[in-house]
C-alpha cells in the first residue's frame, strides 16, 4: 500500500493546486440549457441533406423540401418525389416551401413553379409560368391564410390561387407600392394583415390588399434590407424580421418601432451572425432563430440569446450550423433543417446531460462513464473509461479532474466504480483500489501485494458494517476499513472449485444478506451471514421461474424486499420467500434485454438502463415507459456500474456519450392515446394510398400494408398488434410498421391494427377491408351458369326417368313384394343359423368340460400308480367320485340332447299319474337348497297351499323345477335370492320361480324358450350353458297342456311362471 500526502509536495505546480483547492488545473463551467439533438442525414434515406423547408401535415407525415427532391417521412422511411419527364411529377427538385390546404392537398413551392399533390390519388398538378398559370416560376414561400386563401410569393410579386380557373393570379407587385417586386417570405397577423419580406425591406398589406405600409429596416444601406424571414408574434405584439446579411429585427406592431439585434463577436449572448435563415415561435412561447452559424434561443427576460452549434466531438449537438428551416410538430418536437442534415429535439426534456468536450460548457474529461457517487458535500464523482475521475461541484457548475496526469498517487485511469462514506472515497480501477480522503487530500493505493485477490476491480460496495467489498476478475476481496486488512471468502463461494468466480456486482439487502453477480455463466450468489449459508441461482431452461440469464450485471432492492437482478438477457424480480424469479424482457415492453443498471425511485418504481435507452417499470401494475435519445438521453447505449440514486432522489445513468441525470417525477410522460394511421398499400408491388373496400383479382400474390404513428419522439420503440380477419392466423405483435401477406385465397378480409407506445398506451384500432376475387370459373356469375346448366340437365334427366319409371313400376312392385318375402325368410334363416352356431359352440363347451375332468382324473390316477405302484384309498375314492360326478353330468347333458330332439319331433312320451304337486315342488326345491347356498344365494320355498292333486309326470315336472332354479342360480349374483311359490287356480295350478338376478330384456321374453336362442350378451360375465334347459322345460309343459312364460326387467330380476291344468286329458 502506498500512502503519500499531497501536503508533502514542494513544487510550485502542487502548491497552486492546493491553493485552488482542486485536484486539477482544469476549471469548467456548464451550459445552463440541456438540449440533445437527434440527427437525420442521407444515410437514413433523405434524398439530399440541405433542408430548405419542413412541414407536418394533418395526418402526421413530415415533409422535407431539399435541393434535390421532396421527402415524405413517416418515422420509419422516407418516400422521395423527384422531377421526371412525365405529367405526374413535381416540376423541379429544388423545394423552397411546403403547405397543406383545407382539402388535404399538399402545395410544394419550387424554383420552377408551384405544385399541388392530391394525396388520395397521388397525382401532381403543376402551375408553371410557361403555362401562364403563375406570374413567375421562382416561388419562394406559401401562406394558407386564416380564411383559407392560398398566397404564394415569387420574384415577380404576390400571387393568389384562383380555384374557379385553377390558376394563380398576381395581386401585388412593385407598381402597387411594395418595397420590391422580389418577395422572399410571407406571414399573417391576428388582424389578417399580410407581412411580406422583400429584397428591399418589409411591406405590411391590409387584409383586402389595398393598404400597404413599407419598412426600410436599414435606411443607411438599402442592400441590407434583403429580408428572408418574417414572423408575426401576435402574443407579444411584435413582428420578427430576419435579413440575409444584416441580422435580426423586431418591429413593434403598435408603435412601428424597430429594434435591431446585431452580431457581437465579444458577446456570447448576442445573435451569432447576420444571416438569418429561419424564425419559429413554438407552442411553449420559445422563439427560435436559425442562422448560418447555429441555432439561437431568444431569452425574453434578458433580451439576449442562447446559442446551440455543431461540435465535432459531440454527436448530440446540432448536425450543422447553417440553419435553413424550423418546424414544431404535433408532439412539441422541434425540427431543424440545415445545410447538411436534419436535427430533432424536445424542448421539454428535463434530462440533464453531462458530457466531454473542448468548450467550457462541458464537465467531463471523457464521455464513457463508469462509476457514479455523490459525496457528503453534494459533489458528484464520475469515473471514466480511460481518463480518471471527474469531481463536479453542481452548485457552481464547475468540475475538476483526478487522474494519473494530475496526481502521481492516482495509479490507474480506467475507473470501474466508486463508493464512499464521509470523507473517504473508494475508487475501483483496473489497477487496484484507490482511496481518497477528501478532507486531508491523502491518496492510498491497494493492490495484490496488500492482499487484494486481483487488481482488476469491477465493483465496490461499502456495507453497513464498514467493510469494503470488491468484485474482481478473480473472486471477491473484503477490506476492513478500520484495520486495513483484507479478508478472503472465495473458498466458501467456490465450493471446491479451483478457480475463483468473476464477480461483476455486489449488493447488500435490507436484511444484511449479500448478493454477488457473476459472469462466465456463474449466475447469482446469495450469502446469508446470519444462517451461514451460501446459495447459487442459475438459469434453468426448463424452469421459467429460474434466473433469466447467468451473466448478472446489476442488483438492487425495492421497498417490499424484492431483489431486482439485471442480466444480459432481461430483468428479474426475485421473491425471497418463494425463491422464484419473475422475468421482464422486450416482450413485456422494456427497451432492450441487456440490463446495465437498476434503480428504485422514491415511488418504488424501477428504472433500468439498456442498450436501447432507459425503461421505467411501474412496480404496481408493471406498466412500462421507455425513453430514448429524443427525450434527451446521452445516447441509447449505457454502461455497467453507471447507475446511481442521490440522497435527493435524483437518478443518474452513464453511457458511452456522457452522463444523464433527472428527477423521475419531472420526466414521466402523461398518458396520451397514440394515433395510428395507414401509410401506403402495395398490391403486387403497385402502390395505393387506400384500398378500403377494393377488390383484387385472383392473381394477387403479395399484399403489403404499412402503418405508422405520427409521434417521432419514440417511433422506433412503438409496438404494433395486428390481425387479418378472414385468415387462419391470430393476433401478431411486431416492432415493424408493415406486414406482407402472400398468396391469400379468395375471400373477404379485414385488416385490423393498433399501436402501443413506449408508455403502454394503446391507440384506437384502425382497419381496412378488401376482397380477393375468385377466378372467373369460381365467380358468382360462373356459379349461376353452372346451376342453370345443372338444372337443365336434371330436368331432362327427370323426363327420361319418368318414362322409365312407368315401365318398371309394376314389375318393381311385384319384385319388391317378392324381395320382402325373401328378405324375411333370409333374415329368419340367418338368425336361425347364427343361433344354431351359438348353440353348438356352447354345447361343445358343455361336453368338453366334463370330458376334460374325467380325462385329467384318469391321468392323475395312472400317474400315482406309475410313481408309487399303489394309490391311497382316500385319494382313489376322491378321484373316482370326481370322475363319477362328471360322468353323470355328461350323461345328463346327452339325455337332454336326446330328449330335446324327441320333443322337437313329437317322439317324447310323458306318464301321467295323480300327484300332490305341492309336495313334489317342495321336495324338489329342498334337494337344491345346499347347492344354491354354496353360490351365496338364498332359496326361499313359499307355497300358498298345503296340498293340490293334479295329473302329471312326476319325473318331468321335477326336471322342470330343477331347470328353472338352476337357470335362476346362473343369473343371480351372490347375496341375491330365489323364491319358489305355488298357487291354486282351481282347475289349474301356478308354479313360480322368482329371482333377484340381472333380468331379461323384453325383446327376449318370447324367444328365450326356443331351442337355439340364448339371452346372455357377449360381454356378460355369467357362464354360458347349452341352452337346452328352458327349451326342454317349455316342451314338457306343453306336453302337459300347460303354458310357461317369463316376467322380467333389466336389473330387477326374472319370474318364470308355469301354469299346469289339474287334468291334462
- DSSP per-residue string spanning 602-623: TTS-EEEEETTEEEEE-TTT--
**Residue 221 confidence (pLDDT):** 62
pLDDT confidence bin for 26, thresholds 50/70/90: very low
Among residues 660, 669, 654, the alpha carbon closest in space to that of 616 is found at 669
pLDDT confidence bin for 936, thresholds 50/70/90: very high
pLDDT confidence bin for 104, thresholds 50/70/90: very high
**Residue 87 confidence (pLDDT):** 80
The span from the CA of 355 to the CA of 362, in Å, is 6
Please compute Rg for the chain using Cα positions: 53
* More confident call, 292 vs 719: 292
CB 1000 within 8 A of CB 1008: yes
The span from the CA of 323 to the CA of 50, in Å, is 9
Residues 6+ positions from 240 with CB-CB distance below 8 Å: 229, 230, 231, 233, 248, 249, 250, 251, 279, 287
Q: Parallel, antiparallel, or unpaired: how do β-strands 524-528 and 533-537 relate? A: antiparallel
Condensed to tens digits (0 to 9), the pLDDT of residues 175-190 reads 999 999 999 999 999 9
- Show the cell assigned to 427: 475508487
Look-up of cell digits 464537465:
363
| Backbone region of residue 632 per phi and psi (left: phi > 0; alpha: psi in -120 to 50; beta: other values) | left
pLDDT confidence bin for 899, thresholds 50/70/90: low
**Residue 319 confidence (pLDDT):** 95
CA atoms within 13 A on the CB side of 377: 14
Residues 6+ positions from 46 with CB-CB distance below 8 Å: 40, 64, 66, 71, 78, 341, 342
Residues 6+ positions from 666 with CB-CB distance below 8 Å: 350
Task: Please give the biggest Cα pair distance in the chain.
Answer: 164
**Residue 29 confidence (pLDDT):** 32
> With 90 as the cut, is the pLDDT of residue 21 above it?
no
pLDDT confidence bin for 784, thresholds 50/70/90: confident
Q: What is the mean pLDDT of residues 510-514?
A: 97
* More confident call, 371 vs 12: 371
Exposed / middle / buried, residue 21 (Cβ in 10 Å: 0-12, 13-18, 19+)? exposed
For a pLDDT cut of 70, what percent of the chain falls above it? 90
Question: Mutual orientation of helices 954-970 and 1028-1039 as an angle, nearest 10°?
Answer: 150
**Residue 852 confidence (pLDDT):** 64
pLDDT confidence bin for 28, thresholds 50/70/90: very low
The span from the CA of 374 to the CA of 92, in Å, is 58
CA atoms within 13 A on the CB side of 845: 11
Distances (CA, A) of 261 to 130, 572, 710, 855: 41, 57, 37, 134
The span from the CA of 646 to the CA of 634, in Å, is 19
**Residue 846 confidence (pLDDT):** 56
**Residue 431 confidence (pLDDT):** 96
CB 230 within 8 A of CB 196: yes
Q: Which helix (H) or strand (E) holds 889?
A: helix 873-904
Residues 6+ positions from 22 with CB-CB distance below 8 Å: 400
The span from the CA of 825 to the CA of 847, in Å, is 32
Condensed to tens digits (0 to 9), the pLDDT of residues 759-776 reads 788 999 999 999 999 887
> With 90 as the cut, is the pLDDT of residue 778 above it?
no
Q: What is the mean pLDDT of residues 366-393?
A: 96
Return phi, psi of residue 63, to 5°: -105, 135
- Show the cell assigned to 197: 419580406
CB 71 within 8 A of CB 47: yes
Among residues 997, 989, 941, the alpha carbon closest in space to that of 967 is found at 997
Under DSSP, the state recorded for 111 is B
- Rounded to the nearest integer, the mean pLDDT of the chain is 88
CB 190 within 8 A of CB 224: no
> With 70 as the cut, is the pLDDT of residue 697 above it?
yes
> With 50 as the cut, is the pLDDT of residue 952 above it?
yes
pLDDT confidence bin for 342, thresholds 50/70/90: very high
Q: What is the mean pLDDT of residues 696-704?
A: 93
Condensed to tens digits (0 to 9), the pLDDT of residues 792-810 reads 899 888 888 888 888 777 7
**Residue 31 confidence (pLDDT):** 39
The span from the CA of 612 to the CA of 502, in Å, is 26
Order of all β-strands in the sheet with 475-480: 457-462, 467-472, 475-480, 485-487
Return phi, psi of residue 240, to 5°: -95, 140
Return phi, psi of residue 451, to 5°: 120, -5
For a pLDDT cut of 90, what percent of the chain falls above it? 65
Look-up of cell digits 321336495:
923
Exposed / middle / buried, residue 56 (Cβ in 10 Å: 0-12, 13-18, 19+)? buried
Condensed to tens digits (0 to 9), the pLDDT of residues 72-102 reads 999 889 999 999 988 889 999 999 999 999 9
Exposed / middle / buried, residue 238 (Cβ in 10 Å: 0-12, 13-18, 19+)? buried
The span from the CA of 238 to the CA of 255, in Å, is 10
The angle formed by the CA atoms of residues 1034, 1049 and 992, to the nearest 5 degrees, is 45
Number of Cβ within a 10 Å radius of residue 473: 18
Collapse the DSSP code of 299 into the 3-class scheme (helix H, G, I; strand E, B; otherwise coil) and give the result. strand
Dihedral sign computed on CA atoms, order 127, 133, 137, 140: negative
**Residue 352 confidence (pLDDT):** 92
Condensed to tens digits (0 to 9), the pLDDT of residues 466-508 reads 999 999 999 999 999 999 999 999 999 987 777 889 999 999 9
Look-up of cell digits 348353440:
839
Q: What is the mean pLDDT of residues 194-203?
A: 95
Q: Which of 103-107, 299-303, 953-957, 1010-1014 has the lowest mean pLDDT?
A: 1010-1014
pLDDT confidence bin for 11, thresholds 50/70/90: very low
**Is this structure's pTM higher than 0.85?**
no
Domains of the chain: 40-288 (2.130.10.10), 677-775 (2.60.40.10), 780-898 (1.10.287.130), 909-1061 (3.30.565.10)
End-to-end Cα separation, the chain, in angstroms = 138
> With 60 as the cut, is the pLDDT of residue 201 above it?
yes
The span from the CA of 850 to the CA of 996, in Å, is 29
The span from the CA of 13 to the CA of 663, in Å, is 40
Residues 6+ positions from 644 with CB-CB distance below 8 Å: 372, 373, 374, 599, 651, 652
Under DSSP, the state recorded for 145 is -
Residues 6+ positions from 563 with CB-CB distance below 8 Å: 507, 509, 515, 555, 556, 557, 573, 574, 576
Amino acid at each position: 500500500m502506498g500512502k503519500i500526502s499531497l501536503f508533502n509536495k514542494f513544487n510550485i505546480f502542487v502548491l497552486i493546486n492546493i491553493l485552488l483547492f482542486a485536484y486539477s488545473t482544469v476549471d469548467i463551467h456548464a451550459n445552463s440549457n440541456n438540449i440533445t439533438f437527434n440527427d437525420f442525414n442521407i444515410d437514413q434515406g433523405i434524398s439530399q441533406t440541405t433542408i430548405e423547408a419542413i412541414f407536418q401535415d394533418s395526418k402526421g407525415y413530415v415533409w422535407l423540401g431539399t435541393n434535390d427532391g421532396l421527402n415524405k417521412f413517416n418515422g420509419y422511411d422516407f418516400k422521395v418525389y423527384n422531377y421526371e419527364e412525365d405529367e405526374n411529377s413535381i416540376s423541379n427538385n429544388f423545394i423552397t416551401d411546403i403547405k397543406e390546404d383545407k382539402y388535404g392537398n399538399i402545395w410544394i413551392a419550387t424554383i420552377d413553379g408551384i405544385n399541388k399533390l392530391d394525396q388520395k390519388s397521388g397525382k401532381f398538378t403543376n402551375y408553371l409560368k410557361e403555362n401562364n398559370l403563375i406570374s413567375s416560376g421562382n416561388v419562394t414561400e406559401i401562406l394558407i391564410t386564416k380564411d383559407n386563401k392560398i398566397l404564394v410569393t415569387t420574384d415577380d410579386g404576390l400571387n393568389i390561387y384562383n380555384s374557379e380557373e385553377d390558376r394563380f393570379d398576381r395581386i401585388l407587385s412593385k407598381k402597387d407600392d411594395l418595397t420590391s417586386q422580389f418577395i422572399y417570405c410571407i406571414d399573417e397577423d391576428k388582424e389578417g394583415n399580410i407581412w411580406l419580406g422583400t429584397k428591399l425591406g418589409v411591406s405590411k398589406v391590409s387584409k383586402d390588399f389595398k393598404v400597404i405600409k413599407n419598412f426600410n429596416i436599414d435606411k443607411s444601406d438599402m442592400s441590407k434590407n434583403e429580408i428572408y424571414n418574417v414572423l408575426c408574434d401576435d402574443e407579444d405584439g411584435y413582428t420578427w424580421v430576419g435579413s440575409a446579411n444584416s441580422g435580426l429585427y423586431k418591429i413593434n406592431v403598435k408603435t412601428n418601432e424597430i429594434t435591431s439585434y446585431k452580431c457581437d463577436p465579444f458577446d456570447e449572448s448576442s445573435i451569432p451572425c447576420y444571416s438569418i435563415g429561419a424564425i419559429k415561435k413554438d407552442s411553449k412561447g420559445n422563439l427560435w432563430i436559425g442562422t448560418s452559424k447555429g441555432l439561437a434561443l431568444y431569452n425574453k427576460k434578458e433580451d439576449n440569446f442562447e446559442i446551440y452549434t455543431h461540435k465535432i466531438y459531440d454527436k448530440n449537438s446540432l448536425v450543422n450550423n447553417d440553419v435553413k428551416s424550423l418546424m414544431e410538430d404535433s408532439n412539441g418536437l422541434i425540427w431543424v433543417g440545415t445545410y447538411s442534415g436534419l436535427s430533432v429535439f424536445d424542448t421539454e426534456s428535463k434530462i440533464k446531460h453531462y458530457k466531454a468536450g473542448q468548450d467550457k460548457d462541458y464537465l467531463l474529461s471523457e464521455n464513457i462513464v463508469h462509476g457514479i457517487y455523490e459525496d457528503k458535500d453534494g459533489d458528484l464523482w464520475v469515473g471514466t473509461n480511460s481518463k480518471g475521475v471527474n469531481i463536479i461541484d453542481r452548485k457552481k457548475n464547475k468540475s475538476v479532474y483526478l487522474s494519473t496526469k494530475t496526481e502521481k498517487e492516482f495509479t490507474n485511469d480506467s475507473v470501474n466504480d466508486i463508493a464512499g462514506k464521509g470523507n473517504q472515497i473508494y475508487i475501483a480501477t483496473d489497477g487496484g483500489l484507490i482511496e481518497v480522503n477528501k478532507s486531508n487530500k491523502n491518496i492510498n493505493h491497494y493492490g495484490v501485494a496488500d492482499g487484494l485477490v486481483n487488481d482488476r476491480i469491477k465493483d465496490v460496495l461499502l456495507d453497513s458494517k464498514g467493510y469494503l467489498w470488491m468484485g474482481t476478475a478473480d473472486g471477491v476481496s473484503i477490506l476492513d476499513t478500520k484495520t486495513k486488512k483484507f479478508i478472503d471468502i472465495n473458498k466458501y463461494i467456490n465450493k471446491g472449485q479451483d478457480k475463483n468466480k468473476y464477480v461483476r456486482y455486489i449488493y447488500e439487502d435490507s436484511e444484511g444478506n449479500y448478493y454477488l453477480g457473476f459472469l462466465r455463466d456463474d449466475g447469482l450468489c446469495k450469502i446469508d451471514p446470519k444462517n451461514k449459508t451460501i446459495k447459487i441461482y442459475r438459469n434453468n431452461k426448463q424452469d421459467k421461474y429460474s434466473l433469466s440469464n447467468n451473466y448478472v450485471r446489476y442488483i438492487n432492492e425495492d421497498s417490499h424486499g424484492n431483489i431486482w437482478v439485471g442480466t444480459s438477457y432481461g430483468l428479474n424480480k426475485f421473491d425471497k420467500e418463494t425463491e422464484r424469479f419473475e422475468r421482464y424482457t422486450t416482450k413485456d415492453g422494456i427497451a432492450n434485454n441487456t440490463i446495465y443498471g437498476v434503480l428504485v425511485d422514491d415511488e418504488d418504481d424501477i428504472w433500468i438502463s439498456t442498450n436501447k435507452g432507459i425503461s421505467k417499470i411501474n412496480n404496481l401494475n408493471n406498466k412500462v415507459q421507455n425513453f430514448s435519445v429524443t427525450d434527451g438521453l446521452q445516447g441509447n447505449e449505457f454502461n455497467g456500474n453507471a447507475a446511481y440514486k442521490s440522497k435527493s432522489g435524483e437518478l443518474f445513468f452513464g453511457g458511452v456519450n456522457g452522463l444523464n441525470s433527472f428527477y423521475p417525477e419531472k420526466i414521466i410522460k402523461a398518458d396520451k392515446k397514440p394515433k395510428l394511421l395507414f401509410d401506403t398499400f402495395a398490391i403486387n408491388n403497385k402502390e395505393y394510398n387506400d384500398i378500403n373496400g377494393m377488390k383484387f383479382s385472383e392473381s394477387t400474390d403479395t399484399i403489403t400494408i404499412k402503418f405508422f404513428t405520427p409521434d417521432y419522439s419514440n417511433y422506433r420503440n412503438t409496438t404494433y398488434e395486428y390481425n387479418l380477419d378472414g385468415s387462419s392466423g391470430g393476433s401478431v405483435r411486431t416492432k415493424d410498421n408493415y406486414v406482407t401477406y402472400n398468396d391469400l385465397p379468395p375471400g373477404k378480409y379485414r385488416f385490423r391494427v393498433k399501436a402501443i407506445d413506449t408508455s403502454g398506451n394503446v391507440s384506437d384500432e384502425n382497419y381496412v377491408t378488401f376482397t380477393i376475387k375468385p377466378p372467373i370459373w369460381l365467380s358468382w356469375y360462373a356459379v349461376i351458369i353452372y346451376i342453370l346448366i345443372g338444372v337443365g340437365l336434371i330436368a331432362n334427366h327427370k323426363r327420361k326417368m319418368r318414362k322409365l319409371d312407368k315401365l318398371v313400376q309394376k314389375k318393381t312392385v311385384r319384385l319388391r313384394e317378392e324381395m320382402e318375402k325373401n328378405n324375411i325368410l333370409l333374415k329368419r334363416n340367418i338368425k336361425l343359423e347364427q343361433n344354431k352356431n351359438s348353440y353348438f359352440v356352447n354345447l361343445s363347451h358343455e361336453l368338453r368340460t366334463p370330458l376334460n375332468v374325467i380325462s385329467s382324473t384318469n391321468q392323475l390316477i395312472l400317474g400315482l400308480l406309475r410313481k408309487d405302484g399303489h394309490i391311497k384309498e382316500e385319494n382313489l375314492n376322491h378321484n373316482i367320485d370326481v370322475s363319477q360326478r362328471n360322468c353323470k353330468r355328461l350323461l345328463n347333458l346327452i339325455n337332454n340332447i336326446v330328449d330335446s330332439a324327441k320333443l322337437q319331433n313329437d317322439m317324447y312320451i310323458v306318464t301321467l299319474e295323480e300327484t300332490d304337486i305341492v309336495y313334489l315342488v317342495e321336495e324338489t326345491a329342498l334337494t337344491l337348497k345346499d347347492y344354491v347356498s354354496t353360490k351365496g344365494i338364498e332359496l326361499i320355498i313359499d307355497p300358498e297351499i298345503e296340498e293340490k292333486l293334479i295329473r302329471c309326470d312326476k319325473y318331468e315336472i321335477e326336471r322342470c323345477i330343477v331347470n328353472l332354479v338352476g337357470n335362476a342360480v346362473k343369473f343371480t349374483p351372490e347375496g341375491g335370492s330365489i323364491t319358489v311359490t305355488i298357487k291354486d287356480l282351481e282347475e289349474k295350478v301356478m308354479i313360480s320361480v322368482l329371482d333377484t338376478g340381472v333380468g331379461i330384456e323384453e325383446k327376449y321374453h318370447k324367444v328365450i324358450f326356443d331351442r337355439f336362442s340364448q339371452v346372455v350378451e357377449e360381454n356378460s360375465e355369467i357362464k354360458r350353458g347349452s341352452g337346452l334347459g328352458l327349451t326342454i322345460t317349455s316342451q314338457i309343459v306343453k306336453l302337459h297342456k300347460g303354458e310357461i312364460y317369463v316376467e322380467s326387467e333389466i336389473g330387477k330380476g326374472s319370474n318364470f311362471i308355469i301354469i299346469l291344468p289339474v287334468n291334462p286329458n
